[in-house]
Amino acid sequence: MAPEQGQEGNAPTQPEAMECYTQAPGFRDSACLLQEWVAFGLASQRADSEWRSDMLERFKGTRAEARLARAMVMAWGPVAQWKQASELLKADLHAAPSKLQPLLRYWLNELERRRDLQYRHYQVLEEQKNLEADKQALEEKLDALTDIERNINSRE
């Protein structure tokens, strides 16, 4: 239902409230700027791969707002996309409206923390793999020494 034109209190706020929950956030300076981006960030976090694929296709443009939206989609996608998401956020953060920059910085910092944790996880896995290989080599040496000891004991 459209807001009534004659009422002064409803006319300016009703259309903006309807814009607050669009699927494509932008930079237009409205009362819903932060709400739109937060909603989009949450949708990106909860979405499935099909939604992410559709959004990446939708935000192929080179405008800063499209690149930042694409970065948000990638930030919650596969780990392989996190670096590119970080680069996009760093490159275009300054182009966002000043009201939106703290939120984008927060998301960038959160993404960098996840990237760091993922890197540490890979390091631990690599170290574990190396330790397993060292353990296997030591077990083989121990078996060889045990065989040598048996041979020596059998000769006596």
The pLDDT of residue 10 is: 44
- CA max distance for the chain: 112
Residue 22 in this model has a pLDDT that exceeds 80: no
- Arithmetic mean of pLDDT over the chain: 86
* Residues making up the chain, counted from first to last: 156
pTM metric for this prediction: 0.70
Per-residue pLDDT tens over the stretch 109-144: 999 999 999 999 999 999 999 999 999 999 999 999
Q: Report how far residue 37's alpha carbon sits from residue 20's, in angstroms, rounded to the nearest whole number.
A: 9
State the average pLDDT over residues 38-49: 92
Instruction: Give the DSSP H or E segment for 65.
Output: helix 64-75
Which of 87, 42, 41, 89 minimizes the C-alpha distance to 65? 89
80: CB partners within 8 A, 6+ apart: none
Q: How many CB atoms lie within 10 A of CB 39?
A: 16
Question: Which own/partner contact pairs does 28-35 have at CB distance under 8 Å and 24+ positions apart?
Answer: 29/97, 29/99, 33/97, 33/99, 33/100, 34/99, 34/100, 34/103
The pLDDT of residue 90 is: 96
Q: How confident is the model at residue 103 (pLDDT cuts 50, 70, 90)?
A: very high
147: CB partners within 8 A, 6+ apart: none
Residue 27 amino acid letter: F
Q: Report how far residue 45's alpha carbon sits from residue 118's, in angstroms, rounded to the nearest whole number.
A: 17
Residue 156 in this model has a pLDDT that exceeds 90: no
Question: Quick check: 30 and 97 in contact, CB under 8 A?
Answer: no
